[in-house]
Copies of this chain bind each other. A is one copy, B any other.
Amino acid sequence: MTTTATDGPTLARLAALLADDTRARICLALLDGRAWAAGELARLAGVAPSTASDHLTRLVRGGLLVEERQGRHRYVRLAGPSVAQLIEDLAGHAPARPRPARSLRAVRADAALAYARTCYDHLAGRLGVLLRDTMLDRGLLDGADGLALTPAGVGWLDGLGVPVAPLRAARRPLMRDCLDWTERRPHLAGALGAALCARFLDVGWLTRGGGRAVRLTPAGGPALAAALGLDPADLAPDGAPDAGGGRA
Contact = CB atoms under 8 A, between A and B. Distances in A.
Interface stretch (A17-25, A199-207, A220-228): A17-25
Given A1-B239, A15-B19, A101-B3, A147 B147 contact: yes
Contacts of A101: 1-3
Contacts of A9: 21, 24
Identical chains bound together, number: 2
A104 interface: no
B91 A6 contact: yes
A99 to B, nearest CB: 5
Interface residues of A, number: 78
A7 B136 CA distance: 31
Contacts of A218: none
B149 A146 contact: yes
Contacts of A95: 10, 14, 63
Contacts of A27: 11
Given A1-B110, A2-B99, A2-B100, 17 more contacts: A1-B106, A2-B101, A2-B110, A3-B110, A6-B92, A7-B97, A9-B24, A11-B94, A12-B18, A12-B21, A12-B23, A15-B15, A85-B89, A90-B90, A145-B153, A146-B148, A146-B174
